[in-house]
Structures are given as C-alpha cells and as structure tokens.
Amino acid sequence: MPRSALVLAVGAGLYALALGALDVTFNATPLLIGAVVLAAAVLGDRPQLTGTGLVLVGWGAAVLGVREGPLPADRSAAAFLLGAGLGLVATRILRRLTNADLGDGAYAILSGGLAFYLAYDIAELGRWPVWAGAMLVWALFEAVQGGRRTRR
C-alpha cells in the first residue's frame, strides 16, 4: 500500500477520534484535513498533494480565526479567501521543492468551496462522519492509483 494512502487512512481515523470522542469542533475540519493531506505529501509518496494540503490549512486556519478566534465574523469571506490565497502562494513558493501543482490547490478551493456552499442546504456536509468517510475513500483511491503508478 502506498504510504500516502496509509497516511490518509490513519488521518481519517485520527480526525474521527478528534471530532467524535474528543469534542474538537467541526470548525477545525478544513485545517485538520489539510494537515492530514500535508502529512500524506511529506511522509507519503505523493509530494503533489502539497498544494491541496496548503490551501486547506490556510483556509482552515481562517475558518478557526473567524469562528473561534479574533477575526471578525462580518469579514469571514475575506478571511477565507486570504487563507486559501496564502495556501496557493505557499504552494507557488514550494513548487520546485515539492513538485506541488497550483492546479491541485485550485481543485481544493473549488471542491472545498462547493462543499461549504452546499452545507447550508445539505446538513450531512456539516457532519464529521461524512468527511472521515471521504478521507477513507481518498485513501482507497490513492492505494489503487499508487499501485498503478508503480506498475508503469
């Protein structure tokens, strides 16, 4: 099994433990998932995941800053854009070291923004089991893709 798949699967379990048993707030979701993805990029065999991880960490830090920290709630959209933008800038800076792709960060912004937007109407998107499951599905995808990459 590729290391990135293993890191994502373990990260899904740790995320579920944090939100399910340790009462970490759901607001930490983008930051925690971003940290797991960064760990998969660094510890695993997929440095291309760096952009996705950095964007999610930047956005997640902004979410916590607005929802549970000192940033004003009436500027949440601006804070979220800044957080995601900082993740893209960090990806650009680290691109040569990590083989990170700005496009991967853009996909993270698009899919994360869409999920966040739809969560207002689809209550399940605001529940941690959905995101733990999504990380497990991603881990499975990485495992299948990793096997294909090594056979080529």
How sure is the predictor about 149, in pLDDT bands with cuts at 50, 70 and 90? low
* Burial (0-12, 13-18, 19+ Cβ within 10 Å), 145: middle
Look at residues 4, 70, 81, 65 and name the one whose alpha carbon lies nearest to residue 37.
4
Tell me how many domains the chain contains: 1
Range of the structural domain that residue 50 is part of: 3-151
Structure confidence by residue, pLDDT tens digits, 84-132: 999 999 988 888 777 777 777 888 888 888 988 898 899 999 899 999 9
What is the pTM (predicted TM-score) of this model? 0.88
If you search the block for the tokens 């959209």, which residue do you land on? 77
